[in-house]
Amino acid sequence: MVEGVQALGDMPLTVQEFTTEGEWCVATDLRAGPQDTEGGFALAVKRFAWRGTGLESLAEGLPPRALDLDVRGLHMLPQTGDPLLSWMLAAQARANGTDGTLSVRWDSLTGQISLTALEIDFPGDNAVSATATLTGADLSSQDAIVASLGRMAVTQMTLSVTTHGLFESFLLFPLAQVVLAGAEPQAEAEEVKRVARSFATDLPPSSFDAATIAALDHLVADLPNPAGRIVLTVTAPEGFGPARLMSVVAMGLERAGGIESVLDGVRVGVAYHAETEAPE
């Protein structure tokens, strides 16, 4: 076992075994975080594998030119201070791990970053996947990265979310705490939904077609328990990035020409393939 590796800030990191599988480097039974007597949570991964091009640049604080990750059995371990309770909770967590893969490339000649695959498989029938293309990136040095931030822009993105409890587990609490006062949450939630659905109907048709508006309306109506598959697509041949948003920050949305002007040339699509629960 390799102990005390300070790879995650000040958190202790232990790895049962390091091996190689062809081009892949593999860490088995990785654990990061406090020990049981310290309280809090620890992070555990059954298998963490990586490969890439230009990985040596990480030592200089720079991203590699290509990176692939494969994670199996990611789970959180509550550190209760009670050995028996912690042991039982760990057994439950191991049976409900999360798997994921990532593949990203940077072309130094064209300045294009390609997220060719992001796949996260959560416990139950819950998953997230995404692809994206960004232009205008220069990752050759720290100064170049800072200088190119204003030029970076998304030209294509697809995000797919399958949720059967995923929304409730990760987004419901933070969203509700922001938009609801808590005195009459059901009534407040219905009012927030009414406002959101009204806002959706006013989105510019040049960027949001009728099918997208209908999907957004259906999705909002199903909150706080949406179930099914949600697909978001963004297409921006001229790019959509910080440069477009600077005018909004500087002048406000209305003086910048409104949302239709900000999204000029950008097409946004939303599909919601809802699954209705069978009656009991």
Smallest CA-to-CA distance from 99 within 79, 131, 69 is with 69
Residue 270: predicted pLDDT: 98
Range of the domain at 228: 104-280
Please state the domain count of the chain: 2
Q: Which of 79, 96, 113 is the last residue of a domain?
A: 96
Residue 8: predicted pLDDT: 47
pLDDT: which is higher, 222 or 258: 222
Q: Does residue 11 surpass a pLDDT of 70?
A: no
Same domain flag for 89 and 139: no
Q: Does residue 80 surpass a pLDDT of 90?
A: no
Residue 6: predicted pLDDT: 42
How large is the average pLDDT for residues 148-177? 95
Same domain flag for 65 and 111: no
How large is the average pLDDT for residues 118-123? 97
Same domain flag for 90 and 136: no
Q: Does residue 79 surpass a pLDDT of 50?
A: yes
Residue 193: predicted pLDDT: 97
How large is the average pLDDT for residues 30-58? 87
